[in-house]
Amino acid sequence: MKKAAVIGGSGYGAGEIIRRLLLHPEVELTRVASIDYVGELLCTAHPNLEGLSELRFENLPPEQAADGMDVVLLGLPHTVSSAFVPRLLDSGATIIDLSGDFRLDDVAAYERYYQTVHPCPELLDQAVYGLPELNRAAIAKARIVASPGCFATATALGMLPLAR
């Protein structure tokens, strides 16, 4: 059984990840960190989770949230995730980032498209674009997985047969 934590658990994307983790037969969702809803049941922010978990939101530093975890999922806003990732690497957990912070491996492209400086460009080449149809083998070995966005996924999957 893999142990998982979610950091930034009060948003919409994190709510869907939490729901899927709670239903996954090989994952134990152990903690959900958030600066919102601290001490409240997960269903306070995500009513669809009512009755699925007795977990409560905790206000934890990233290192503490990741302690003992096999995987840490970041449901944090864009540019916030990249500030957390360096603090999580020593935990040994696989990090899955739902934001766009690690989707591009080129610093110049990142700065051009996101119009901000990446806080840890030295980690971009360690991240794997998390679309299994394209990168299944690399994802299995990655320490940082960049979750693709919904529009990019739809476009990539639609174009994949043509590209191949």
Catalytic residues: 150
Owner of token pair 């394209």: 134
Cα angle 96, 99, 103; round to 5: 80
Q: Return all residues near 128 (Cβ < 8 A) that are at least 6 apart.
A: 135, 138, 139, 142, 144, 145, 146
What is the residue type of 146? A
CA–CA separation, 152 vs 163, rounded Å? 15
Burial call 34-59: b when 16+ CB within 10 Å, e when fewer: beebeeeebbebbeebeeebebebbe
